[in-house]
Structure 1
């Protein structure tokens, strides 16, 4: 019974913190992780998604972003713009795998 009472206190404190901060999710194993929509086969995963823009000749990371988007389709233009801002060239060619394919993102990048 003591264990259950301690757990109840712990969960109430988590609930209070969520009420105070407006958070709608809490990961007890990783405070930055959130439930992300991914694919139809695996509709939810708790974690985060890291996007990087890498310069192809020297493999230098020019930009990165940690998101809770479970898929990459909406990240191409965001990362292309971030890379463009960091690089000293007016010409940028973005190369990505098919997971980034979305017509609007391709046009925007």
Structure 2
């Protein structure tokens, strides 16, 4: 079958990080503006009681300032509600299509340019600019769009571990899109990197359990429904295990697996 490689690149936006506004910051700003408006209203009430017999220029100025505060509060509320509808946590003022993304250079305002390249001709067969900085949600849409562009039923998709997504890979395979993607493994950083890594534990499908380096079985202990992650552990076996100092600094070792 034809082979296509997919990867993403972060392209910097024109707007700087100083133009990024978070939803939490808008909530705090809206609360502060409401407090200032309440204080102004109380001040106007006191002025009306003290100077009910006249309506001088100072009163007009105070009322205009109050209207400006209300307009700013409404604008802040509208921006917050828009971000809630879109399900985004950050907004780039002046460049709303950009997003705050992680990159090798640190956090920056950017776009995520997804590219699919034919490995034989080295030609770009499909590209798309997305606002999601995480490549793990781009596998299925990019693979399917590439399949449509090439008008081919069978394709082999190559990508790095950033695209590892069990659910999307399964959907791709159902459409004759064979995915060749290394699994995304978490690194055991405890003990200065001298402890057993995840690949030292071997999964047995028939038992739905992992066999650890000490030859103990780690059965399924917990499910995370939202993230579709399974947790395997055997606390009693870890308690008296002779290899525990080489395995974990905690009370027991847990191995995770995508559903």
Normalised by the length of structure 2, the TM-score is 0.30
How far apart are residue 86 of structure 1 and its match? 0.6
For the residues of structure 2 that align with 1:23 and 1:52, how far apart are their CA atoms?
Answer: 30
Write out aligned runs for 1:39-78 (5 A): 44-78=107-141
Q: How many residue pairs were aligned?
A: 91
For the residues of structure 1 that align with 2:117 and 2:93, how far apart are their CA atoms?
Answer: 30
- Cα-Cα RMSD: 2.9
Check the 8 A contact 1:54/1:61 in 2, yes or no: yes
Write out aligned runs for 1:9-48 (5 A): 24=83, 25-28=91-94, 32-36=97-101, 38=102, 44-48=107-111
| 1:105 maps to which of 156, 168, 189 | 168
1:19-47 CA-partner distances (Å, limit 9, x unpaired) = 69x8652345x6642224x49xx6x5321
More strand by percentage: 2
SS of 2:126 mapped into structure 1: strand
Check the 8 A contact 1:35/1:68 in 2, yes or no: no
Normalised by the length of structure 1, the TM-score is 0.65
Alignment of 1:81 with 2:147, yes or no, is no
Check the 8 A contact 2:118/2:124 in 1, yes or no: yes
- Which residue is equivalent to 1:4? none
For the residues of structure 2 that align with 1:89 and 1:106, how far apart are their CA atoms?
Answer: 18
How far apart are residue 107 of structure 1 and its match? 0.9
4+ long deviations beyond 3 Å: none
Larger radius of gyration: 2
